[in-house]
Amino acid sequence: MSEATDNLIETLSQQEIAEIEAEITHLPDRESAAIDALRVVQEHRGWVSDESLHAIAKLLGMSPGALDSIATFYNLIFRQPVGRHVIMMCDSVSCYVMGCDGLCAALKKKLGVKLGGTTPDDRFTLLPIVCLAACDRAPVMMIDNDLVTNVTVDGLDEILGRYQ
């Protein structure tokens, strides 16, 4: 590989590269780890920038365009910066029956953001998400990796307070 290529891959940390290579060991070829690699980098940096995308593409031996077409397909891969904490509010039918529309309206008002927006202090990004598979405990949301169930408008302050 050329020096330019090596430099690009070096924008990824040793840890990130090691984690991506570990995923590749379960697969028949490097390109098959595209989604895993995107997830690894996002776990370290919060989102996948253009620079990261190019580095991952080089590491896996694929075109950045092809990798971006994969990255932009998936709900959980963020190609824009996010705040310190990502709130994903379920808006599917069981949460709808249990009042998620009102909950979402309250949350938007409280944070002062629209869906997809980040608070000015960079604390929260608010995103809609589809069914989180906890429908008996609706309404449901996730904050970062945490599942938060039986959410009420009155309970929002306490829930948000856990995430600085």
Partner 1 sequence: MSEKPLTERIESEGGLVTMDAYEGSGGYDVARRVVTSMSSEEVQSIVRDSNLRGRGGAGFPTGVKWGFVPMGDAAGDGHKYLVCNGDEMEPGAFKDRYLIEHDPHLLVEGMIIGAYAIQADRGYIFLRGEFHEGARLLNGAIADAKSKGYLGDNIFGSGVRLELAVHRSGGRYICGEETALLNALEGKRAQPRSKPPFPPASGAWGRPTIVNNVETLCNVPSIIGNGAQWFHGLGRGEDAGTKLFGVSGRVNNPGLWELPMGTTIREIIEEHAGGMQEGYRLRGILPGGASTDFLVEEHLDLPMDYGTIEAAGSRMGTGTMIIMDDTICPVDMSRNLQHFFAQESCGFCTPCRDGLPWLEQLLTDIEEGRGEDGDLELLDRNCELIGGAGKTFCLHAYGAIEPMASALKYFREDFETHIRDGRCPYNHRG
Q: Which of 63, 72, 55, 69 is nearest to 20 (CA)?
A: 55
Query: What is the full DSSP assignment across 70-105?
Result: HHTT-TT--SS---SEEEEEE-SHHHHHTTHHHHHH
The position carrying tokens 């959980």 is 76
Q: Give me the 53-92 binding string for partner 1, x by CB under 8 A, dash otherwise.
A: ----------------xx--xxxxx----------x--xx
Instruction: Please report, as residue ranges, which positions from 88 to 127 form the binding site for partner 1 (by CB under 8 A).
Output: 88, 91-94, 96-99, 101-106
For partner 1, which is the closer residue by CB, 7 or 93?
93
Q: What is the C-alpha to C-alpha distance for residues 136 and 134, in angstroms, rounded to an integer?
A: 6
Q: Which of 39, 50, 40, 49 is nearest to 76 (CA)?
A: 39
**Is 145 an interacting residue with respect to partner 1 (CB under 8 A)?**
yes
For partner 1, which is the closer residue by CB, 18 or 133?
133
**Is 9 an interacting residue with respect to partner 1 (CB under 8 A)?**
no
Residues that bind partner 1 in the complex, under the rule CB under 8 A: 26-28, 31-36, 38-39, 69-70, 73-77, 88, 91-94, 96-99, 101-106, 129-138, 142, 145, 147
